[in-house]
Amino acid sequence: MATKISLWFLAIASPAILLALLLGTRTSEWAFAVLAAAFPLALIALGAGRGAGALKVGLVALLVFYEACFLGLLTLHGRDAPWLFGLPLATLLQLGIFLAPLPAVALLYAWTFERHGLRRRDLEELRARFGRGEGGG
Amino acid sequence: MTGLAQPAVIASSLAYLAVVLAIGVWAARRTHDARDFFIAGQGIGLVVTTLATMSAAFSGFLFLGGPGLTYRLGVSSFFISVPVSFTAGLLCWTVAKRLRLLAEVREIYTVPDAVLARFRSRRASGLAAVAVIAGTVGYLGAQLQALGLVLDSIFGTGLAAGMAVGVVVVLAYATAGGMVAGVYTDVVQGALMIAAALGVFYYALESGGGLGAIGRTLAESGDFGPGFLDPLGAAPLTALGFYFVFGVGVLGQPQMLHKFYMLDDPRKLKWFPLALSSSQALVVLLWIGIGLAVPALVASGRLAPLASPDDAAPAFLLGFAPPLLAGIVFAGVLAAIMSTADSFVNIAAAALVHDLPKAFGRPVRRELARGRWAVVGVTVASALFAFLYGDLIALLGTFAYGTFAAALAPAFAVGLNWRRVTPAAATASIAVGLALNLGLELWGRQAWFPALPKPPLAAGALPSAAALAASFTVLFVVTWWTSTRDDDIDADVAAVMEM
């Protein structure tokens, strides 16, 4: 299910992003931001394959975080926004996008690795079945 | 001021060069066959793979080009490195595991090898090799330009002479040691840069009076103004384009993908995202620190306006960092450039003597010897290209990164995870991504035909972002057009894709 949703999203988002880059209106900027924020997460869900279910909560949380930050940046763009900790709020949001998801993404990967990433028995089975060079090519 | 006035800078840089040469000699003794030359014998552990991948990703592009781009565009340029928070995870979930497992079941050295294994299409594999060569010429050119700038900053050689010296050093180094040399230089460089980035970040903030003072100085400055601190800058499509290209395009970077083949045990990927993204985030502090401090120093009159934005990092290091730290950073930057250059020349050499002949059905017999000659050709071509391109290091790097991204990311990201992607779809996607990125870039820059209109992109839109989106679009359209229920994938590759 997650694979299908990811593929549909990627298939629709790709031409939509291209269109946004050709049109360049204010709406295009918003559309590009929303789609670009979700694009890597859709690829993660696609890559996780059978393990995507275990990532559901994490990926949705990341999606909400990224979309909120990018929509915040667009809202604050060009405005005289408040300053916090010596920097404009928008700059802080940018630093937040840089730092906050880092441990979440990395630990989510490690946490799901044993069950859905690469199990030892799967690796051994692959080596036993195919070994190097037996598959042709 | 050049580094000649500061003996500590000279001493650190020369000491580093000695270490690099020693690694080159040692590596040459360990390089016995093509497997050693191209994938370091597939015997590299997690820490070395992490540092090598980080070093391949962060090079002269980041250390010199990054602060230069920030000087020109403001903090919107940071969107190039903002994606490091997720790119390591994205790499592992989407391509790394499958690429590494492909190397378990096939004799695979290169990115086009993986394309051939997955799609059984020599045309797709050959096009991937062409994309690798095209992107390498741009990326290696950016490294050589950065190397010329560093040598000019330290020894006052001038940019052209600095690049020429750089070409000679890279050639001597890469032809001797191959990937073994590159990987172990990466380790020295990675460790150096993590330590140095923290020091530079501290001194950068201190020189500007702290983050708050830097922010106020920039916002009140007539030259920079509040727009400098706006993450979406003057053109939001540019900032968002950086995020898209560098966030998604990471899946098509051969200099990073190639490293996964070298990992000795695929199960070590478990901690790879944590190790890579943490080390990358630390090193990015160097860019953020210098990128914010230098414009603030210029705005406050403590530093003369820069002749070229790419001078930002050298100007800060030579004028405001302690000489020993400056020396370490210069040495680290030299290491970064050298290791990345080495990775690229070897990847391009592999494309020339391994992938392209294979695509034409005429494999080369003495790959190792021919590979060393290919290194010479690629390096010289890259230096010439960079010299003729004549723009900021980061813009040349973005073009090259975009070439890899648009040509290779869709075929890998979707193709390795969805069995219905056909060879025709992969071929079309690679061809469109490559042609569109090169075409839009050259069209936008050409000055031979002044009457020719600019490419039909919105103001600020990056050609590489459009090419990447188009490449994904073509992949899906052609897949739905050409796919059948019975996919044509070898059993071992299908097993890898199922895992």
Closest CA to B466 of B494, B441, B430: B441
* Residue B57 pLDDT > 60: yes
Structural domain boundaries, residue A26:
2-130
Q: Which residue has the higher pLDDT, B468 or B400?
A: B468
Angle at B124 between CA B341 and CA B134, to 5 degrees: 30
Q: Which residue has the higher pLDDT, B156 or B70?
A: B70
Q: Which two tokens stand for residue B7?
A: 């003996």
Mean pLDDT for B300-326 is 91
B contact test, residue of A69, A95, A102 with most B CBs within 10 A: A102
Q: Helix or strand or coil: residue A88?
A: strand
Closest CA to B188 of B312, B290, B51, B60: B51
pLDDT tens, residue by residue, B151-207: 888 888 888 888 888 888 777 766 665 556 667 777 777 787 888 889 999 999 999
Mean pLDDT for A19-48 is 95
Task: Tell whether A84 is covered by a domain.
Answer: yes
Counting every residue written for chain B, the total comes to 499
Q: How confident is the model at residue B3 (pLDDT cuts 50, 70, 90)?
A: low
Q: Helix or strand or coil: residue B30?
A: helix
Q: How confident is the model at residue B486 (pLDDT cuts 50, 70, 90)?
A: low
Q: How far is C-alpha B135 from the chain's CA centre? A: 10
Mean pLDDT of chain B: 86
Q: Least CB-CB distance to B466: which of A18, A94, A133?
A: A18
HSE-up (13 A, CA, CB side) for residue B123: 10
- Chain A residues with CB inside 8 Å of B278's CB? 102, 106
- Is B444 within 8 Å of chain A by CB? no
Q: How confident is the model at residue A134 (pLDDT cuts 50, 70, 90)?
A: very low
Counting every residue written for chain A, the total comes to 137
What pTM, to 2 d.p., does this model score?
A: 0.91
Calculated CA dihedral for residues A42, A44, A50, A55, nearest 10 degrees: -90
Q: How far is C-alpha B24 from the chain's CA centre? A: 21
* Reported CATH class of domain B3-394: mainly alpha
Residue B379 is which amino acid?
T
- Chain A residues with CB inside 8 Å of B219's CB? 88
- Is B93 within 8 Å of chain A by CB? yes
- Chain A residues with CB inside 8 Å of B95's CB? 47
How confident is the model at residue B202, as a pLDDT? 94
The CA distance from B226 to the nearest CA of chain A, in Å, is 9
Which residue from B minimizes the CA distance to A97?
B82
Angle at B53 between CA B50 and CA B56, to 5 degrees: 150
Which residue from A minimizes the CA distance to B492?
A135
**Beta bridge pairs of residue B263:** B44
Task: Tell whether A137 is covered by a domain.
Answer: no
Domain spans of chain B? 3-394
pLDDT tens, residue by residue, B5-27: 677 777 877 787 677 667 767 76
How confident is the model at residue B34, as a pLDDT? 58
Task: Tell whether A70 is covered by a domain.
Answer: yes
Residue B449 Cα distances to A55, B117, B452, angstroms: 53, 43, 6
Q: Which residue has the higher pLDDT, B144 or B435?
A: B435
HSE-up (13 A, CA, CB side) for residue A80: 1
Give how many domains chain A has, as a whole number.
1
Judge contact between B470 and A18, C-beta under 8 A.
yes
How confident is the model at residue B424, as a pLDDT? 96
Residues A43, B90: C-beta atoms closer than 8 Å? yes
Spell out the residues 6+ positions from residue A109 whose beta carbon is closer than 8 angstroms to its own: A117, B89, B92, B93, B270, B273, B274
- Is B114 within 8 Å of chain A by CB? no
Residues A130, B236: C-beta atoms closer than 8 Å? no
DSSP-assigned letter for residue B363: -
- DSSP run (H or E) holding B318: helix B312-320
- Is B483 within 8 Å of chain A by CB? no
What b/e sequence results for A101-134 when a residue is b if at least 16 CB atoms lie within 10 Å of its CB, and e otherwise?
A: bbebbbebbbebbeebbbeeeebeebeeebeeee
How confident is the model at residue B33, as a pLDDT? 60
Residue B489 Cα distances to A135, B386, B425, angstroms: 11, 40, 14
Q: Which two tokens stand for residue B257?
A: 């993908």
How confident is the model at residue B59, as a pLDDT? 75
Task: Tell whether A83 is covered by a domain.
Answer: yes
Q: How confident is the model at residue B484 (pLDDT cuts 50, 70, 90)?
A: confident
Mean pLDDT for B110-131 is 93
Task: Tell whether A126 is covered by a domain.
Answer: yes
Q: What distance in Å separates the CA atoms of residue B155 and residue B11, rounded to the nearest whole number?
A: 12
* Residue B378 pLDDT > 50: yes
Q: Least CB-CB distance to B86: which of A74, A80, A105?
A: A105
* Residue A136 pLDDT > 50: no
Mean pLDDT for A94-101 is 92
The Cβ of residue B222 has, within 10 Å, a number of other Cβ atoms equal to 6
How confident is the model at residue B303, as a pLDDT? 94
ipTM: 0.94
DSSP-assigned letter for residue B59: S
Q: Percentage of chain B with pLDDT > 70?
A: 90
DSSP-assigned letter for residue B93: I
- Is B78 within 8 Å of chain A by CB? yes
The Cβ of residue B50 has, within 10 Å, a number of other Cβ atoms equal to 28
Q: What distance in Å separates the CA atoms of residue A57 and residue A46, rounded to the nearest whole number?
A: 15
Q: Helix or strand or coil: residue B450?
A: coil
Q: How confident is the model at residue B434 (pLDDT cuts 50, 70, 90)?
A: very high
Residues A126, B490: C-beta atoms closer than 8 Å? no
Nearest-10 crossing angle of helices B272-299, B312-320: 80
Q: Least CB-CB distance to B86: which of A33, A40, A117?
A: A40
Spell out the residues 6+ positions from residue B325 whose beta carbon is closer than 8 angstroms to its own: B196, B199, B200, B203, B317
What's A19-74 look like in SS3?
A: HHHHHCCHHHHHHHHHHHHHHHHHHHHHHHHHHHHHHHHHHHHHHHHHHHHHHHHH
Residues A21, B247: C-beta atoms closer than 8 Å? no
Q: How far is C-alpha B461 from the chain's CA centre? A: 21
Residues B271, A18: C-beta atoms closer than 8 Å? no
- Is B207 within 8 Å of chain A by CB? no
**Of B115-124, B385-394, B466-475, which one has max mean pLDDT?**
B466-475
pLDDT tens, residue by residue, B241-251: 999 999 999 99
Which residue from B minimizes the CA distance to A95?
B82
Residues B237, A97: C-beta atoms closer than 8 Å? no
Mean pLDDT for A105-113 is 92
The CA distance from A100 to the nearest CA of chain B, in Å, is 8
Q: What distance in Å separates the CA atoms of residue B202 and residue B238, rounded to the nearest whole number?
A: 29
Q: Least CB-CB distance to B244: which of A39, A99, A114?
A: A39
Residue B377 is which amino acid?
G
- Is B266 within 8 Å of chain A by CB? yes
Q: Which residue has the higher pLDDT, B437 or B348?
A: B437
* Residue A62 pLDDT > 90: yes
Mean pLDDT for A72-87 is 88
* Residue B446 pLDDT > 50: yes
Q: What distance in Å separates the CA atoms of residue B340 and residue B39, rounded to the nearest whole number?
A: 14
Q: Which two tokens stand for residue B406?
A: 């648009």
Q: How confident is the model at residue A135 (pLDDT cuts 50, 70, 90)?
A: very low
Task: Tell whether A136 is covered by a domain.
Answer: no
Mean pLDDT for B301-320 is 92
Q: Which residue has the higher pLDDT, B477 or B486?
A: B477
Closest CA to B55 of B333, B273, B331: B333
Q: Which residue has the higher pLDDT, A136 or B208?
A: B208
**Beta bridge pairs of residue A87:** A84
